[in-house]
Structure 1
Amino acid sequence: MWKVVLIDDDERVLRGLKMIIPWEELECQWTGQARDGVEGVQLVKEAKPDVIMTDIYMPVKNGLDMIEELQEWGYDGQVIVLSGYNDFEYARKALRLQINDYLSKPASRETIRTVFRQTIARLEEKKQEDQMEREWLESMMTDAMRINWALIREGNSHSSGALSRANVTDRFLTSNQHLQDSIKQADEKTAIKLIRTIYEVVENEPYHEQTAIQLGIQLWTIITYSLYEIGIRLDDLSLSDDDIYNRLSHYQSWNESVQLFEDIVGEVCQSQQWDENLKHRQLVEQMLESIQQRMDENITLSDLAEELFISRNYLGRIFRKVVGESFKDYLLRIRMEKAKKMIYEGSYLIYEISEKVGYTNPAYFSSAFKKYSGQTPTELIQKRARIK
Structure 2
Amino acid sequence: MYRVILADDEPEICKGLRLKIAWERLGFEIVGEARNGKEALSAIASERPQLLLTDIRMPVMDGLELLQACKRLHPELRIVVLSGHDDFQYVQTALRCGARDYVLKPVVRRDLTELLETIRGELDAERENARAREAIGLQWRRRLPLLQEQYVLGRIYGGDETPGIAEREEARRLELAGFDGADGEGAALRFMGAEYRVPPGRLPAGKEDDERLALAFRLVCREVAAEARWSGRVTPFTDKAYPRFMFFAAAAEDEAGSEALLAELAAALLAAAEGSLRLAAVAGIGAACSPSAGSTALRRAYLSAVTALSRTPAGPASRIVRADDPEGRAARPSAGTETIEAIRRHIEDAYKDEISLAMMAERFHMNVTYLSELFKKQTGSTFSDYVAEVRLGRAELLLRDTAMRLADIAEWTGFSTASYLSAAFKKRYGLSPADYRARLRGDRP
> TM-score, normalized by length of structure 2?
0.38
* Higher strand content, 1 or 2: 2
More helix by share: 1
TM-score computed with the length of structure 1 as normaliser: 0.43
Larger Rg: 2
